[in-house]
């Protein structure tokens, strides 16, 4: 059982480049989340989804976009990378809003 | 707005010693409360959660936490720490009545000496 899989694990981007962070879960979870973790800080919610075709903003959505075309996948898109987006990004999923969230291993992104 | 404070950035304990990690929250009512652990290079793993009822909550790996409404606290404890417990610990809360939108504290890094 793979759980929550994030790719890539590491990436270096130049300012202004774009990229998509991939997240897939094989637990048939309805809810999926994207968080970012800055050094010395707790995780902050970027976007979340309660099911295919439904997404909503979290605490820090600016500079990001998401889509949820299938139950399994929840990609996070950075259109114009900025140094402020240097962070570790975690994807998570849960069966419902009231159940435990399972986290992926994270993607470490550096924007230079 | 709600917030979570973990006053200790870094704690060092000897293996076999007891552990208490502090967590205080700010919110006008009782939120859902969580403790997560993050091992190096890993994602977060849920240790325990408090939704309602018994204020002493048992979790995995021998951890427990006690909710104290009067102190707005949810401290994590373990009677005897093992070297494998070295990790970063995050306290989090949710006010939406779900576990969907977690507000995290800044974390406490635990070092265990042999």
Instruction: Classify burial at A39, counting beta carbons within 10 Å of its beta carbon; exposed 0-12, middle 13-18, buried 19 or more.
Output: exposed
Q: How many CA atoms lie within 13 A of B9 on its CB side?
A: 3
Confidence of residue B102 (pLDDT cuts 50, 70, 90): confident
Q: Would the pLDDT of A98 be above 80?
A: no
Give the tokens for residue A31. Answer: 């809810």
* pLDDT value of residue B60: 94
Q: Distance of CA B74 to CAs A59, A63, B4, Å? A: 23, 34, 10
Smallest Cβ distance to A103: which of B44, B105, B107? B44
The verdict on whether omega for the bond into residue A8 sits within 30 degrees of 0, i.e. cis, is yes
Taking only the tens place, the pLDDT of each residue in B81-96 is 999 999 999 999 987 7
Q: Would the pLDDT of B98 be above 70?
A: no
| B35: nearest CA partner in chain A | A100
8 Å CB contact between A28 and A45: no
């Amino acid at each position: 059982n793979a759980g929550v899989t994030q790719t890539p694990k590491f990436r270096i981007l130049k300012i202004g480049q774009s990229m998509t962070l991939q997240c897939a879960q094989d637990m048939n979870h309805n809810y999926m989340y994207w968080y970012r973790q800055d050094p010395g800080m707790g995780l902050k919610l970027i976007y979340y989804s309660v099911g295919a075709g439904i997404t909503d903003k979290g605490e820090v959505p600016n500079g990001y976009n998401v889509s949820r075309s299938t139950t399994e996948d929840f990609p996070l898109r950075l259109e114009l990378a900025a140094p402020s987006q240097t962070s570790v990004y975690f994807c998570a999923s849960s069966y419902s809003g009231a159940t435990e969230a399972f986290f992926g291993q994270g993607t470490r992104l550096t924007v230079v | 707005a709600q917030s979570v404070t973990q006053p200790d950035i870094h704690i060092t304990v000897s293996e076999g010693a007891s552990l208490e990690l502090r967590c205080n929250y700010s919110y006008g009512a009782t939120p859902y409360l969580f403790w997560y652990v993050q091992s190096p290079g890993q994602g977060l793993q849920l240790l325990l959660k408090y939704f309602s009822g018994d204020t002493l909550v048992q979790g995995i790996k021998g951890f427990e936490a006690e909710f104290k409404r009067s102190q707005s606290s949810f401290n994590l404890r373990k009677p005897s720490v093992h070297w494998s417990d070295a990790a970063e610990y995050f306290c989090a809360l949710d006010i939406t009545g779900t576990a969907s939108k977690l507000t995290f504290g800044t974390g406490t890094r635990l070092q265990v000496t042999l």
